[in-house]
Chain A
Amino acid sequence: MTDDPAALKALSELSAQASLSEVIRRRDWIFDPIPPWLNLNKEQQARFARMQIDFKVRELQIQQEKLEALGKML
């Protein structure tokens, strides 16, 4: 689980369905560390973290849909 305050704040604001946010919470790989040499301030870091969460929510939703489609083929 991440301990990045910006990411945790973004997670708390997550409006995705509860089960999906729970999946995300369990995964510490969800956040690729933002390279420090981007020299982001706290606000920018938080926005990057929110973007990463948005990405992962959508990626997981697509993955779920794909597995359902493949499940019908198998």
Chain B
Amino acid sequence: MVSLSSQQRPAVAMASASEDPRVPVLDVLLVGYDNQENLGLRSILAYLRSRGCTAELVPANGGVEDPAVVEAIVARPARIVGFSIIFQYSTSEFRRLLARLRERGVRSHFTAGGHFPSLQPEVVLELIPDLDSVVRYEGEAVFLELLSKVDQPERWQEIGSLAFRQAGELILNPPRPLFTDLDTLPRLVRDAQPRFTSTGVSLASILGSRGCPFNCSFCTIRQFYEAPGGELRRLRSPEAVVDEMAELHRSRGVRMFVFQDDDFPVRTPGNSWLPAFHSALEARGLVGKVFFKISCRVDDINARTLEAMVKHGLIAIYFGIESGNPLGLSILNKQVSVQRNLASIQLVKQYDLALAAGFMLFDPASTFASVRENIAFLREIGGDGFYPVNFCKMLPYAGTPIERRLREDGRLKGTLEQPDYSLLDPELDSYAFIVQQIFSQRNFSGDGLQVALQEANFNERLNRAVGLADPSVNLRSPLTDLIRQANQVALRTLEDLLALVEQQGMDALLDNREQLLQLSQREWEEEARLEIALHKLDSGGGGNRLGLAALYAQKHRRELEALHSPLMP
């Protein structure tokens, strides 16, 4: 590990964009999405500051092409500007941002990090020509060393995990080892002001671990942590995690902690982490005062561990279920059975946790039969309205085993930024395309019905836990009923459309578009009706009972703008 005191740091040589000598030049400026606190960037920030460097964050929550982002970067000259490219499909946005910054005279060293840049640095350097380098894998130590050598390109080859071009040649330096002890890292940098849920509960994102020991074929996490070697999942000590929680609770009143772990350490070697975590929560007197949400695999939990977690404040859980049929689970390499998925969800229902779940209706092995099984599975787990079902098509992210396999099979399609693949049956491809047309708003819009129901479902649990809910008002039953209706409507649409395509074929359906139109119209009318009902439920009493007031205000503004005045009365 390289440590750099302020005395050792090279003199600032980088001309600033503004050329204003009164504006101090930062060592590092980090840019990226920060909606849920970008823990990667915030850890790099903390690490650099702990070594005496000056480093700041430019959140790009309104999108990286937001003019405010450009202005913020131009106004804060820095020797290095680091861009967090989380989503492969946003590469073009970053290309345009960097080009604009160069046009504005920003001459800083531009580097990028994240899963996609780490796994395919050659592609990212090609797609974003204004990048000078790529920081691969864990970024803290790489940034620090890059800072010490940024003005000496002849020494960049010494920097482990750095990728760059030199004389037209791509240089991929060997990966540097990951930190073996996460407890040695400084605490994350937090904003000056705490964050709040939409019902006003102070919350913070936090990590108990990095990495995941499993090997799902569509996921980049294993590839990201495996290449540098070492443990596939490293754990912070439970005491260090709870120390941080206690500090955030004391200093900022945080009551809700969202664990952003790739796979929360429920199951660990010796299964000792979780009991120690619970003991630490008890020892700090936090039980009943703070609550938390985790993400984990369905086979991580059992009745004993779930009961213990609930007792210590667990109120919400995210499962990567991904598939409800054996073929899908197999090609995704989930290493779980449909029965196990069902059993774990049943447990979550028993403990009445707010459930969110990732689900891929389509995967590379999909057939009409497997899609039908998936729909039946979703009906089984979501038909009662326990949680709002969501579904998508698996995307072949760069560097994953499934991407490699699809390429070998000649099925990888799309572009480098937006990879896709053909399904095995062309008629199913057409079905998937129409599903996307019908459900894009519901499933993928940041203010679509699915997100609104998810948010309401979570807030309803949290409000009860922290005592914000009026105990005389039962919101749970009417909310569950709305979720049930939304699920039933969507699943019926999926089923009816599947039957139409399977029985008639796309050609015949396109000849008679009326059937398709009626089906989609029914879906959208029901969604609109449910949205109005949800709005009513939220705005009763004192209003914002389910935390949807801001979401709906924003949504209505956006929709009104989109429809524009000619259509309005």
Contact = CB atoms under 8 A, between A and B. Distances in A.
Contact of A73 (B521, B536, B562, B567): B536
Nearest to A36: B413
B520 A58 contact: yes
A35 B434 CA distance: 11
Contacts of A65: 528
B426 A38 contact: yes
Contacts of A44: 507, 510
A55 B562 CA distance: 16
A38 B525 contact: no
Interface residues of A, number: 34
Contact of B532 (A23, A38, A59, A73): A73
Contacts of A26: 564
Contacts of A36: 413
B154 interface: no
Contact of A39 (B420, B426, B528): B426
B433 A55 contact: no
B510 A47 contact: yes
A35 B426 CA distance: 11
Contact of B567 (A19, A59, A62): A19
A47 B535 CA distance: 37
Nearest to B528: A66
Chain B contact-residue range equals 35 or more
A60 interface: yes
B524 A59 contact: yes
Contacts of A69: 528, 532
Nearest to B413: A37
B567 A20 contact: yes
Nearest to B422: A37
Interface string A38-74: 1100001001101110110011101111111110011
Interface string B430-443: 10011011101100
Contacts of A38: 426, 429-430, 433
B283 interface: no
A32 interface: yes
A60 B513 CA distance: 18
B566 interface: yes
A63 B559 contact: yes
A52 B513 CA distance: 10
B542 interface: no
Contact of A37 (B429, B535, B552, B559): B429
Contact of A54 (B513, B532, B559): B513
Interface string B408-431: 000001100000101000100110
B57 to A, nearest CB: 30
> Which of A26, A36, A51 lies at the interface centre, i.e. has the most chain B CB atoms within 10 A of its CB?
A51
B566 A59 contact: no
B516 interface: yes
Contact of A64 (B426, B521, B563): B563
Given A38-B433, A69-B532, A55 B517 contact: yes
B460 interface: no
Q: DSSP class of B's interface residues: helix, strand, loop or mixed?
A: helix
Nearest to A18: B566
B520 A52 contact: no
B566 A19 contact: yes
Contacts of B560: 67
Nearest to A56: B437
Contacts of B426: 38-39
B208 to A, nearest CB: 39
A51 B559 CA distance: 22
A22 interface: yes
Contacts of A67: 556, 559-560, 563
A62 B430 contact: no
Given A20-B567, A51-B510, A55-B517, A62 B429 contact: no
Interface string B142-158: 00000000000000000
Given A39-B426, A47-B511, A51-B516, A63 B528 contact: yes
A70 B535 contact: yes
25 contacts: A20-B567, A23-B562, A23-B566, A37-B420, A38-B429, A38-B430, A44-B507, A47-B511, A51-B517, A54-B513, A55-B437, A55-B438, A58-B524, A59-B524, A60-B563, A62-B528, A63-B559, A64-B567, A66-B528, A67-B556, A67-B559, A68-B569, A70-B552, A73-B535, A73-B536
Closest 10 CB pairs of A and B: A66-B528, A19-B566, A47-B510, A37-B422, A62-B524, A37-B413, A51-B513, A58-B521, A54-B517, A62-B528
Interface of B: 413-414, 420, 422, 426, 429-430, 433-434, 436-438, 440-441, 507, 510-511, 513, 516-517, 520-521, 524-525, 528, 531-532, 535-536, 539, 552, 556, 559-560, 562-564, 566-569
Given A59-B520, A70-B556, 17 more contacts: A22-B566, A23-B564, A23-B567, A34-B433, A38-B433, A47-B513, A51-B434, A51-B437, A59-B441, A60-B563, A62-B528, A67-B559, A67-B560, A67-B563, A70-B535, A70-B552, A73-B536
